A and B are shown apart, each in its own frame.
Chain A
Amino acid sequence: MIKNISNLGDAALYCDFGNEVNKSINSQVIKYFKTIKEKKFEGINNLTPSYNKLIISYDLKKTNFKEVKNYVENINAKDSIDINSKKLEIPVCCHDNFSMDIKRLEEILKLSREKILENFLNKEYFCYMTGFIAGMPFLGDLDENMRAQRLETPRVKVPKGSVALTEQFANIYTFESPGGWNILGNTPIDVFDSSKEDKPNLINPGDTVVFKEITLDQYKNYNE
């Protein structure tokens, strides 16, 4: 359930479901998200579910904090939600050309390159949310010994397809963008396709993902 509602600026509600990150809290967030989305409250223009928060932004010309808060407090979030989960295999190349932060990770995690890759690849990930940039999946959970903080100063440009880690999550940069995650490899596939307006994202919340390592040659030939 929502533990606290506050304002984020003057045009958004900040709904806090707690500080922990787990599937049970995340599914509460998704319940609220889906219920509010279906109801189409006049003035709400965006909903951003994340691990344990839901940001509801609205058009200040049409409504305000008090109205939206009152509405959210009185809705009945549905119990049954269908998380249509798929299982996906994502190819990733961890050649030196791509693994820009492997040295940093070796230092922070005190693990060898081989061990880092082994841990990373032998794992099934759950997609908690998508966002930051279009279609970027937030995949958890990395083992305790694989958790590193973001870069102190985010990069201005992270290459498209970069597979990166921060704390308990892995993600994929669906196109070139600024970003501060630790880059481990790169995937040759398109995780976001804007030409499919109804289903642009390959990976959606609730999906399961495994990474399969490919060589540099396989990477280069992947889209041919």
Chain B
Amino acid sequence: MSSNYLDIIRPGINTTFQDKGRDHLYHIGIPFSGAMDNRNYLIANKLVNNNLDSAVVEFAYQGPHIKYSGEKINFAVTGDVIFSIKKKNAEIEGNCYQSYQIENGDEINILSTNKSVYGYLALGGELDLKFQWNSCSINTKANIGSNDGKKLDTGQRINFKKINSNKDVKKINYINNKIENIRVMKGTNFDYFSEQGKQTFYEKEFIVSKLSDRMGMRLEGPKIENIVNTNIKSEGLIKGVIQVPADGNPIIMLSDHGTVGGYPKIGAVASVDYDRLVQMAPGSKIKFKEINLSDAETLFKLYEMETQNLLSQI
């Protein structure tokens, strides 16, 4: 057995292992999953010299308190996260976007994300996790992936398959800029909504509801009026699609979303804004701004170049 392992002292609220996700399975009802905030996931792996598609620990709001046993290893936390590192003689406050070395007996205590939702803990090595359909991403709703598809729990021990020989510590200056305007394209049922409803969608503010999770983000606020039909024949969805059920409150599909749905689609979030959308905590205000397909494609290209540029600086 491996002599390097993690003991979970406190799991946090919604702590899972995530990687790049799984594809080619929508037709049997299995969603993409994977790290919610893709950019922060990639940076976390790069900071600890991992392959970019390695598994990381994803947490929401409160993170885990972990004790490490084994040889010296690197770790890094990304997102907007408050955490500390407990060594034999000292406890130091940790900074995001830089890697640290820990050794046998050290603890990482991730207290909380700061006005955001998700944070990432990458460990320099390969965790011993079960893969299902080429991914260890945990989907707690379908109980798919590593850890029997369940959140991490107190007292669990997670072994490493191997640890990285490259133990160079790295650092990057990065700030998660928050946005209030989420750019969207018209949905395929845009004309189901009244003029007033369309105006409400683009001009009014919505509030992120507490009933939001990896599957979907529910919004509260002014109701969006439908004048055609509040049901459609169930059909495929992708992440970022905004459905409006009969109660007039929009729901945005997120990474663990149902693969089909029967509520009219008023819009779809541009891929460029997805990482920042998922970080909007309950109570945050959202305003939608319309863009067209070609602008969305260009903006995503720029976003992707920026991500690659960040990664190349590490």
B282 on the interface (CB 8 Å rule)? no
Mark A38-50 against chain B: 1 for CB-CB distance below 8 A, else 0.
Answer: 0000000111111
The distance from the CB of A148 to the nearest CB of chain B, in whole angstroms, is 10
Q: Which of A60-68, A82-90, A213-221 contacts B (4 or more CB under 8 A)?
A: A60-68
A80 on the interface (CB 8 Å rule)? no
Interface residues of B in 60-79 (CB under 8 A from A): none
A130 on the interface (CB 8 Å rule)? yes
B24 / chain A contacts, CB cutoff of 8 Å: 37, 45-47
Q: How large is the interface on A (under 10, 10 to 19, 20 to 34, 35 or more residues)?
A: 35 or more
Q: Establish whether residues A150 and B144, one from each chain, have CB atoms under 8 Å apart when the complex forms.
A: no
Complex Cα gap A168–B27 (Å): 21
Complex Cα gap A14–B237 (Å): 10
Q: A11-B238, A61-B304 are in contact. Are A47 and B27 (CB under 8 A)?
A: yes
Q: Establish whether residues A55 and B237, one from each chain, have CB atoms under 8 Å apart when the complex forms.
A: yes
Complex Cα gap A33–B297 (Å): 25
A194 / chain B contacts, CB cutoff of 8 Å: 132, 142-144, 149
Contact partner of B260 (CB less than 8 A), chosen from A47, A48, A153, is A48
Q: Which of B188, B230, B269, B271 has the largest number of chain A CB atoms within 10 A?
A: B188
Q: Establish whether residues B143 and A175, one from each chain, have CB atoms under 8 Å apart when the complex forms.
A: yes
Q: Establish whether residues A176 and B260, one from each chain, have CB atoms under 8 Å apart when the complex forms.
A: no
Q: Establish whether residues A138 and B28, one from each chain, have CB atoms under 8 Å apart when the complex forms.
A: no
A72 / chain B contacts, CB cutoff of 8 Å: none
B132 / chain A contacts, CB cutoff of 8 Å: 194, 197
Q: A21-B233, A50-B234, A153-B245 are in contact. Are A130 and B28 (CB under 8 A)?
A: yes
The distance from the CB of B211 to the nearest CB of chain A, in whole angstroms, is 6
Interface residues of A in 9-24 (CB under 8 A from B): 9-12, 14, 19, 21
A131 / chain B contacts, CB cutoff of 8 Å: 26-29, 234, 236, 258-260
Q: Establish whether residues B238 and A132, one from each chain, have CB atoms under 8 Å apart when the complex forms.
A: no
The distance from the CB of B120 to the nearest CB of chain A, in whole angstroms, is 20
Main secondary structure of the interface of B (DSSP, over half): loop
Complex Cα gap A150–B149 (Å): 29
A134 on the interface (CB 8 Å rule)? yes
Q: A7-B185, A61-B304, A154-B245 are in contact. Are A51 and B258 (CB under 8 A)?
A: no
B9 on the interface (CB 8 Å rule)? no
Q: Establish whether residues A135 and B28, one from each chain, have CB atoms under 8 Å apart when the complex forms.
A: yes
A149 on the interface (CB 8 Å rule)? yes
Mark A112-142 against chain B: 1 for CB-CB distance below 8 A, else 0.
Answer: 0000000000000000011111111010000
Q: Establish whether residues A9 and B268, one from each chain, have CB atoms under 8 Å apart when the complex forms.
A: yes
The distance from the CB of B289 to the nearest CB of chain A, in whole angstroms, is 14
Q: A50-B260, A60-B297 are in contact. Are A132 and B29 (CB under 8 A)?
A: yes
Complex Cα gap A150–B30 (Å): 22
Interface residues of B in 147-197 (CB under 8 A from A): 149, 185, 187-188
Q: Establish whether residues A48 and B141, one from each chain, have CB atoms under 8 Å apart when the complex forms.
A: no
Interface residues of A in 25-79 (CB under 8 A from B): 33, 37, 45-55, 57, 60-61, 64-65
Contact partner of B271 (CB less than 8 A), chosen from A11, A134, A178, is A11
Q: Establish whether residues A132 and B259, one from each chain, have CB atoms under 8 Å apart when the complex forms.
A: yes
Mark B262-299 against chain A: 1 for CB-CB distance below 8 A, else 0.
Answer: 11010011110000000000000000000001001100
Contact partner of A50 (CB less than 8 A), chosen from B144, B215, B235, B238, is B235
Mark B220-250 against chain A: 1 for CB-CB distance below 8 A, else 0.
Answer: 0000000000110111111011000111010
The distance from the CB of A182 to the nearest CB of chain B, in whole angstroms, is 12
Complex Cα gap A194–B145 (Å): 9
Q: Establish whether residues B29 and A149, one from each chain, have CB atoms under 8 Å apart when the complex forms.
A: no
A152 on the interface (CB 8 Å rule)? yes
The distance from the CB of A183 to the nearest CB of chain B, in whole angstroms, is 15
Q: Establish whether residues B27 and A49, one from each chain, have CB atoms under 8 Å apart when the complex forms.
A: yes
Complex Cα gap A145–B271 (Å): 42
Q: Establish whether residues B297 and A64, one from each chain, have CB atoms under 8 Å apart when the complex forms.
A: yes
**Chain A residues within CB distance 8 Å of chain B:** 6-12, 14, 19, 21, 33, 37, 45-55, 57, 60-61, 64-65, 129-136, 138, 149-150, 152-154, 156, 166-167, 169, 174-178, 180, 192, 194, 197, 200-201
A sample of 5 cross-chain residue pairs with beta-carbon separation below 8 angstroms, ordered by A number, consists of: A48-B26, A50-B234, A131-B258, A135-B28, A150-B263
Give me the 5 closest cross-chain CB pairs, A-B, nearest first. Answer: A48-B236, A55-B236, A9-B268, A45-B23, A10-B296
**Chain B residues within CB distance 8 Å of chain A:** 23-30, 32, 132-133, 141-144, 149, 185, 187-188, 211, 215-216, 230-231, 233-238, 240-241, 245-247, 249, 258-263, 265, 268-271, 293, 296-297, 300, 304
* With A9-B271, A129-B27, A180-B245 already in contact, 8 other A-B pairs whose C-beta atoms are closer than 8 Å: A10-B185, A46-B25, A47-B27, A50-B234, A53-B235, A57-B236, A57-B238, A153-B247
